[in-house]
Amino acid sequence: MGFSVVMTIAIFAAAKPSIGYAQEGVSFFMERLRPFGKVELRYVKDGSSKDVSARLLAASEGWLRIAMDERGECWTTRVFERKVRDWQLHSVKKAAFLIGAADGHTEELRRECAHVLSLSAMTMQHELALVVLLEQIYRVQTLLAGSPYHRD
């Protein structure tokens, strides 16, 4: 059973991707994620780090929050899969991944999150971070569903 059957995953980000490659990447993975259930994209208004962080925190009130940030922990895909299984085991119903704007997250936002997760030690455009995160969520979905996509 895929985790999405019992858990809603959402990515909260500042503004929709405006660059072509990212729009295509987001559509590509959202389409592939569709059979697995509930993965949502939610956008807040762009702005300063302080304003965007406040909006992201307000929008994700009540969710298990994961801040996406290059300063965070690096998980392997298998560790990501184990975290999701663990959330399921602990009846987490809603997990929100928070992507910041050009100036990143505030310290307060990082403190309010259960995890601060890095996709690489390098800083990416927020649009690219969104596509990479979606691919990893898709990869974890296929692992949980037993579909042949990920190879160790």
Ligand X SMILES: C[S@@+](CC[C@H](N)C(=O)[O-])C[C@H]1O[C@@H](n2cnc3c(N)ncnc32)[C@H](O)[C@@H]1O
99 binds ligand X (CB under 6 A): yes
Distance CA 10, CA 8 (A): 6
Binding-residue pattern over the window 47 to 86 for ligand X, x denoting contact by CB under 6 A? ---------------------xxx----------------
Least distance to ligand X, CB of residue 26, Å: 14
Distance CA 150, CA 139 (A): 6
**Which residues make up each annotated binding site?**
100, 119-124
Show the tokens assigned to 84. 């999701």
Least distance to ligand X, CB of residue 69, Å: 5
Beta bridge partners of 96: 10, 65
Least distance to ligand X, CB of residue 19, Å: 13
**Which residues make up each annotated binding site for S-adenosyl-L-methionine?**
100, 119-124
Distance CA 40, CA 33 (A): 10
Binding-residue pattern over the window 8 to 47 for ligand X, x denoting contact by CB under 6 A? ----------------------------------------
Report CA-CA distances (Å) from 14 to 41, 110, 140.
11, 16, 24
Q: Are 10 and 97 in contact (CB under 8 A)?
A: yes
Out of 53, 126, 136, 143, the only residue in the binding site for ligand X (CB under 6 A) is 126
